[in-house]
Amino acid sequence: MSTEQLYEEEIKVPAGVEVSYKNGVLRAKGPNGECEKDMSKMKAIVEVRDGAVIVKQYKKRRDYYAIARSVRKHVINMINGVQKGYTYKLKIVYSHFPMQVTVEGNRVRIDNFIGERHPRYAEIVGKNTKVSVSGDDIIVEGPCKESVSQTAANIENSTKIKNKDPRVFLDGVYIYERR
């Protein structure tokens, strides 16, 4: 490793947000909750000091710069999430068999999907991710963008119809709004 530093990016931490980095895990706490990400496998150096998160890279290669910029974007997403939060909205669509969607602990249960007798399940990712059902809408909220988007994708993928024409069989749960 050379002593010459090639890339350094500083991300200011706004007031009301706490960021800590210990044993390869970056944690952010704010008014909207807490988010954490394991950065130990990332090939970038992360430091927290003086109200800022510093991402460094010492190698002069394009792929290492890309990793450092990805780490930077993860940090920005975590800070935005604990400040404002992320929301995904999904629409329940059916033509003949009405679906019932309920939340059971850490998973979402979908009953009567295209008349099936057995329910389908989708996992809720992350401890701070909240899922609520109101009418034909499912609202997924939380401070971690990755957890919220993966939960919404799990719900959407659990109602995927296989071996049938998707233009005819439109039943399912679909993401229609991201914030």
Mean pLDDT to the nearest integer, 123-131? 95
Domain ranges in the chain with CATH number 3.90.930.12: 7-83, 86-178
Instruction: Count each helix (H run) and each strand (E run) in the chain, helices first.
Output: 2, 13
| CATH fold for domain 86-178 | Outer Surface Protein A; domain 3 (3.90.930)
Close Cβ partners of 15 (under 8 Å, ≥ 6 residues apart): none
Give the CATH superfamily of 7-83. Answer: Ribosomal protein L6 (3.90.930.12)
Contact present, 50 and 41 (Cβ < 8 Å): no
pTM of the model: 0.89
Tokens 């909750």 appear where?
Answer: 33
pLDDT tens-digit readout, 75-107: 999 999 999 999 999 999 999 899 999 999 999
pLDDT band at residue 37 under the 50/70/90 scheme: very high
